[in-house]
Each structure stands twice: as C-alpha cells, then as structure tokens.
C-alpha cells in the first residue's frame, strides 16, 4: 500500500465564542480562506484536486447543506471539484483527514483537501432546533449527552486510566509534536486580512 | 355593598354600578370545593343581572392555591374518584370563567400562587397590585397545575405571536415548561408581565393597592361599555412526541447536573407530556378539553405517589417545600 503525506496545513485564529471579532463571520468563508492559504503553503499548488472533505458537528444554517462543496467554490477551486461533509461530532475534522489519507493509500485519489469547519458563535450546541428521538431519550439518553456531562462520565469511569496512562499519552504527544516541528508541518494559524 | 350569596369559602357581593365581586375568604384563601361552587354560582348570577364580575378580596393574600389539606386527605384515603371529580370541577370552573358571556376581571395582590394564578389566567383581564407574587408553584408540592394552568399559560404565550408567521413552537413550550418545572414566582406584577403570566394587551397594574378593587371594577365597566365578547373557542397547536422528547432531554440534563432530584425528574416528565399534548405529530391542533384531560390524568397519578404526599405534608406542616 502506498503512503499518504500531509503536504500543507493551515487553520484560522481562534476567538472568543459569541464575543470575539470572528463571532459574526461565516464558517464557510473562514474555511475557504483556510483552503486558499493551505494551497499557497503547498508551493501554490494548482494541480487537480480529487475531493474536498470537511467535518462539521452541527451541519445546519450557515454551515448547513454540503458545506464542503460550498467551501470549494468559495475558495475558487474549479467547478468540477466535488465535496463531502462528514460528521463524527468533535472528531469530525480529524476523521475527514483520516478518510482522505485512506483514499490516497488505496489509490482512489491523488490529492485531497481535508479538514473541519465549525462556528460555535453562529450555531448553538445541538443546533438551532433539537428534535431528539423519544426512544433514545427514554432508554439511552447518553446518545444525546452534552459535552460537560460526557467529561464527567469519562472522569468517573476512567479515573484509573487517567492516572496511569496519562503520562504515557503525554510522551506520545511530545514525540509527535517534535516530529511535526521537524518537518515543518505544524499547522500554524495565518493572519486574516 | 350588598351580600348576594355566601358559603364557607367565598361570597358574592354587589359592588354597585351593576358590577359584582367574588371574594375568597377561606383559610389563606385556599381554593376548595365551596370556592369552586361559588365561582360557578357567581358567573350564573352575573350573566343574569350584572355587567361583569371582579374576582378579588382584601385579605392577607389573593389566594395561596388549592386546598392542599383536603386533597392530601382524600389521596391518603385512596379516594381518587372524589379527587377526579374535584379537579374536573376546578378545570370546568376555569373554562366557565374564560368563556363567560360577561367580562371577568381578576384583581390579584400579594401571594397569588398555584390555583390563585390559575384563576387569573383565564380571566378576561387582570388588574394586579404592584406587589403581586404570581407563579405556578405546584411542582414544589410534587404536583403539576391541575386547574387548566398548564394549558392557559401556554396559550397566553401563543397569543402574543403574530398569525401566519412561522415560529418555533418548541421554544414557547420549552419556556412554559421551564417556568412551571422550576416553580418560578414573580417578585412583582411587573415581573409577572416578563414571565408571561400577565399580558400587556389586556392586563394592568394598580400602584396603590387600596384602589385595586375600584380599578378592577372600572375595568369591568370599560370592557362592558366597549361591547365585550368572550374569546372564541380555538384549537391549540402542540409540539407532540418530538417536543416531549426535547423537554425530557432537558430535564434529564438538569438531573444529571444535580439540579433536579430523581423525583423532580418524574414530575417534569409528567409535565412535559401534558405540555407536549402527548405523543402526537409536531404542530397537531388539539381541543382544550384534550389538554385538560391529560393534565388531570397526570395530576391524579402524581397525587397517588408517596413522595408527592410527603411534599404536601411537609408544606402543610412547615410552610416550605421539601426536596425529596
């Protein structure tokens, strides 16, 4: 199986939710800027792109419909570049990168733009309209558990894991960080103009 | 002033100028069967011989709610048919106020809790004293409002919304659910407007409490002179099953965070079911009587619970709510 590599990466600055300077900026506009910047960082790549994969946890309103395809258009990519928006909640962006890597490794694609976009100022947690399934709410409400509560659960259930394994996780993280620094792939945020 | 009718719970008094006054005077002005009977008799009398009715009094408080002692005794004797009958009559009396052919103006002041608020909600207009502490507080004694309060509070919020404009029904229901589930009480008449218990288009405040009955009487006369017509019977849109699930999820979240006890959650579950209109499709239009039936069923099932009875007993003995 062939190897997939990350050629370039970028992210937007992070602001305070609802109060920061980016609170009223659309996530698709921000993501389009990021895509442009990434291509710039990849030696102004203008070759073919097989797909744009974007992760989004609450895909509605400003970040609704097929946002990945919209981002491709806003970033000025050719009209024939397809887009797919995926959702695995908080790990959506990471998952889109994993999917992109897998597509390339199996030979299905040559170059993919992958990442995630979310505005926590414009779209509230859970979305604007929440309509949960009664069956799950009554019998397995954990499916809808909010983030604070999930953190409590993790802390309670994995208290031993937290104590014993955190050190080893820390080592792994440090090694990864050094590696990324070395090959200059650290995804630096860029200046918004 | 001429006394027209009287029983142990309330009296009907002639206020002059063809306006009558229904005065509660039971202990703490709690609503019992005699009060309910007097409400119905008063409406009958007013429709025959008067221009309208004021519901008010000059006791310590307007009304502290339904007669808890009587209901607890019946519940402990497993006398549920009797309780069913009382709640049915209470609901019916409130509907009679709402659709009465002559104007009814409530004049609350001081503590206007539970049943007291339920009397004000269907009245055609409310003339409230500045110091009015209003709220549907039944959850504090392990119950939900039983005199149509859930329905009226909900309808009152819907009334403010312009017709034909698309809005999220769920947000309205959630708001009413939260206020009843948290037993929210206004700290003034002004706050009762903010809470949606009073309506700016029909209700007003008397700054001087001594003028309250007079102001309410003037309001009856002005409604009469303006050619009063009772409200039309209209169906009510409900959020149904999806909305029920949403409210339940919110309540479970609060319980998870430790803000609500397990039993609070059980009460909230019943309240959510009533406000959602049961397991219907979102936006279904239902009769008011359907909502009253759901409310009565939930009320009766809660009053049979040991923990509700403990809460009621605690309130009667100590005068403050028990969190069990």
Domain boundaries, chain B: 2-137+185-230
Rounded to an integer, the average pLDDT of B93-110 is: 98
Rounded to an integer, the average pLDDT of B277-305 is: 97
Give yes or no: residues A59 and A154 share one domain.
Answer: no
User: Residue B111, SS3?
Assistant: strand
Rounded to an integer, the average pLDDT of B104-129 is: 97
| Chain A residue at shortest CA distance from B254 | A149
Residues of B in contact with A148 (CB under 8 A): 257
Give yes or no: residues A124 and A144 share one domain.
Answer: no
**Cα gap B110→B212, rounded to integer Å:** 12
Rounded to an integer, the average pLDDT of A2-24 is: 91
Q: Is the pLDDT of residue A62 over 70?
A: yes
The answer to whether the Cβ–Cβ distance between A131 and B242 falls below 8 Å is yes
* Average pLDDT value over all residues in chain A: 88
Domain that holds residue A104: 1-129
Q: Is the pLDDT of residue A191 over 70?
A: no
Q: How many CA atoms lie within 13 A of B258 on its CB side?
A: 3
Beta bridge partners of B3: B13
**Residue B241 near chain A (CB below 8 Å):** yes
Alpha helices in chain B (DSSP H): 33-49, 68-76, 80-98, 115-120, 149-159, 169-181, 189-194, 212-225, 240-256, 262-276, 288-303, 306-318
Distance from CA of B243 to the nearest CA of A (A): 7
The DSSP symbol for B39 reads H
pLDDT confidence of A57, banded at 50, 70, 90?
A: very high
Give yes or no: residues A84 and A66 share one domain.
Answer: yes
* Average pLDDT value over all residues in chain B: 95
Say which residue, A68 or A164, is predicted with more confidence: A68
Model confidence over B192-214: pLDDT tens digits?
Answer: 999 999 999 999 999 999 999 99
Residue corresponding to tokens 């027209």 = B4
The answer to whether the Cβ–Cβ distance between A137 and B170 falls below 8 Å is no
Q: Which of B244, B256, B257 lies closest to A134 in CB terms?
A: B244
DSSP letters, B58-100, are: -SSSSB--B-HHHHHHHHHTT-HHHHHHHHHHHHHHHHHHHT-
Alpha-carbon distances, residue B20 vs A84, B98, B107 (angstroms): 71, 17, 13
Give yes or no: residues A109 and A183 share one domain.
Answer: no
A window 146-185, beta carbon within 8 A of B: 146, 148-149
Q: Among B252, B250, B262, B253, which Cα is nearest to B323's?
A: B262
pLDDT of residue A152: 84
**Residue B224 near chain A (CB below 8 Å):** no
The answer to whether the Cβ–Cβ distance between B248 and A138 falls below 8 Å is yes
Give yes or no: residues A161 and A122 share one domain.
Answer: no
Rounded to an integer, the average pLDDT of A103-110 is: 97
Residues of B in contact with A131 (CB under 8 A): 170, 242-243, 245-246, 282
Give yes or no: residues A82 and A151 share one domain.
Answer: no
Q: Which fold has domain B2-137+185-230?
A: 2-enoyl-CoA Hydratase; Chain A, domain 1 (3.90.226)
| Chain B residue at shortest CA distance from A140 | B249
User: At A89, which CATH number?
Assistant: 3.40.47.10
Give yes or no: residues A168 and A109 share one domain.
Answer: no
pLDDT of residue A147: 85
Contacts of A90 (CB under 8 A, 6+ apart): A57, A147
Terminal-to-terminal C-alpha distance of chain B: 48
Best of B177, B241, B245 to disrupt the A interface by mutation (most A CBs within 10 Å)?
B245
Say which residue, A177 or A6, is predicted with more confidence: A6
A&B contacts, CB < 8 Å: 36
pLDDT of residue B180: 97
**Cα gap A188→A116, rounded to integer Å:** 15
**Cα gap B116→A19, rounded to integer Å:** 43
Give yes or no: residues A115 and A162 share one domain.
Answer: no
| Chain A residue at shortest CA distance from B251 | A137
Distance from CA of B20 to the nearest CA of A (A): 48
Distance from CA of B270 to the nearest CA of A (A): 13
pLDDT of residue A193: 46
**Cα gap B266→A82, rounded to integer Å:** 49
Largest CA distance in chain B: 58
Q: For residues B145 and B295, is the Cβ–Cβ distance under 8 A?
A: yes
Rounded to an integer, the average pLDDT of B8-22 is: 96
Say which residue, A40 or A172, is predicted with more confidence: A40
Q: Among B109, B116, B81, which Cα is nearest to B213's?
A: B109
Domain count, chain A: 2
The DSSP symbol for A22 reads T
**Cα gap B50→B103, rounded to integer Å:** 10
Handedness of CA B70, B75, B76, B79 (dihedral sign): positive
What stretch of H or E contains A92? Answer: helix A92-105
Best of A125, A137, A144, A155 to disrupt the B interface by mutation (most B CBs within 10 Å)?
A137
ipTM topping 0.90 = no
**Cα gap B150→B278, rounded to integer Å:** 13
pLDDT of residue B1: 78
Q: Among B146, B151, B153, which Cα is nearest to B91's?
A: B146
pLDDT of residue A182: 55
Give yes or no: residues A91 and A54 share one domain.
Answer: yes
**Residue B170 near chain A (CB below 8 Å):** yes
Rounded to an integer, the average pLDDT of A140-145 is: 92
Q: For residues A123 and A61, is the Cβ–Cβ distance under 8 A?
A: yes
| Chain A residue at shortest CA distance from B280 | A134
Give yes or no: residues A124 and A151 share one domain.
Answer: no
pLDDT of residue B252: 94
Q: Is the pLDDT of residue B122 over 80?
A: yes
pLDDT of residue B163: 74
Q: Among B142, B151, B104, which Cα is nearest to B126's?
A: B104
Q: For residues A53 and A111, is the Cβ–Cβ distance under 8 A?
A: no
Best of A60, A125, A127, A132 to disrupt the B interface by mutation (most B CBs within 10 Å)?
A132
What stretch of H or E contains A30? Answer: helix A27-41
Give yes or no: residues A42 and A113 share one domain.
Answer: yes
User: Residue B237, SS3?
Assistant: strand
pLDDT of residue A187: 52
A107 by Cβ neighbours in 10 Å (0-12 / 13-18 / 19+) ranks as exposed
pLDDT of residue A151: 85
Residues of A in contact with B282 (CB under 8 A): 131
Residue corresponding to tokens 């300077």 = A21
The answer to whether the Cβ–Cβ distance between A131 and B246 falls below 8 Å is yes
**Cα gap B275→A164, rounded to integer Å:** 49
**Residue A125 near chain B (CB below 8 Å):** no
Q: Which of A130, A146, A148 lies closest to B246 in CB terms?
A: A130
Distance from CA of A167 to the nearest CA of B (A): 30
Bridge pairing between strands B19-24 and B110-113? unpaired
What phi, psi does A32 have (nearest 5°)?
Answer: -65, -40
Beta bridge partners of A112: A51
Give yes or no: residues A13 and A103 share one domain.
Answer: yes
């Amino acid at each position: 199986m062939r190897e997939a590599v990350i050629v370039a990466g970028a992210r937007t600055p992070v602001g305070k939710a609802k109060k920061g300077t980016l609170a009223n900026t659309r996530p698709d506009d921000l993501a389009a800027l990021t895509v442009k910047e990434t291509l710039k960082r990849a030696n102004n790549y203008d070759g073919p792109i097989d797909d744009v994969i974007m992760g989004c946890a609450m895909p509605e309103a400003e970040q609704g419909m097929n946002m990945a395809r919209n981002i491709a258009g806003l970033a000025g990519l050719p009209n024939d570049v397809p887009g797919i928006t995926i959702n695995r909640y908080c790990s959506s962006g990471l998952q889109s990168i994993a999917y992109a890597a897998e597509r390339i490794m199996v030979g299905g694609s040559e170059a993919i733009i992958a990442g995630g976009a979310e505005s926590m100022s414009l779209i509230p947690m859970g979305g604007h309209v929440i309509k949960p399934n009664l069956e799950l709410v009554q019998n397995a409400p954990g499916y809808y558990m909010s983030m604070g509560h999930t953190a409590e659960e993790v802390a309670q259930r994995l208290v031993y894991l937290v104590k014993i394994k955190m050190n080893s996780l820390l080592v792994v993280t440090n090694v990864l960080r050094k590696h990324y620094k070395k090959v200059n792939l650290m995804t630096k945020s860029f200046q918004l103009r | 002033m001429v006394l027209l009718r009287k029983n142990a719970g309330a009296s009907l008094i002639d206020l002059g100028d063809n306006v009558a006054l229904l005065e509660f005077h039971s202990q703490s002005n709690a609503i019992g069967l005699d009060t309910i009977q007097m409400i119905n008799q008063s409406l009958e009398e007013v429709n025959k011989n008067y221009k309208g009715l004021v519901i008010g009094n000059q006791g310590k408080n307007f009304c502290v709610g339904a007669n808890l002692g009587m209901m607890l005794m019946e519940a402990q004797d497993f006398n549920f048919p009797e309780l069913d009958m009382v709640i049915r009559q209470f609901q019916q009396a409130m509907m009679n106020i709402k659709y009465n052919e002559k104007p009814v103006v409530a004049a609350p002041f001081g503590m206007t809790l539970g049943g007291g608020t339920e009397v004000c909600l269907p009245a055609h207009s409310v003339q409230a004293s500045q110091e009015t502490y209003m709220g549907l507080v039944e959850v504090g004694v392990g119950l939900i409002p039983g005199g149509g309060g859930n329905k009226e509070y909900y309808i009152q919020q819907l009334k403010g919304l312009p017709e034909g404009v698309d809005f999220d029904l769920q947000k309205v229901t959630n708001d009413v659910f939260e206020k009843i589930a948290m037993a929210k009480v206004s700290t003034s008449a002004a706050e009762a407007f903010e809470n949606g218990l009073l309506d700016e288009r029909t209700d007003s405040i008397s700054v001087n409490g001594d003028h309250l009955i007079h102001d309410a009487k003037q309001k009856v006369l002005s409604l009469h002179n303006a050619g009063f017509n009772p409200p039309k019977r209209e169906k009510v849109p409900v959020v149904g099953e999806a909305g029920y699930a949403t409210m339940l999820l919110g309540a479970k979240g609060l319980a998870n965070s430790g803000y609500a006890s397990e039993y609070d959650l059980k009460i909230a579950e019943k309240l959510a079911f009533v406000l959602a209109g049961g397991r219907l499709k979102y936006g279904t239009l239902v009769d008011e009587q359907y909502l009253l039936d759901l409310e009565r069923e939930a009320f009766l099932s809660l009053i049979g619970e040991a923990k509700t009875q403990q809460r009621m007993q605690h309130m009667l003995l100590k005068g403050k709510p028990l969190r069990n």
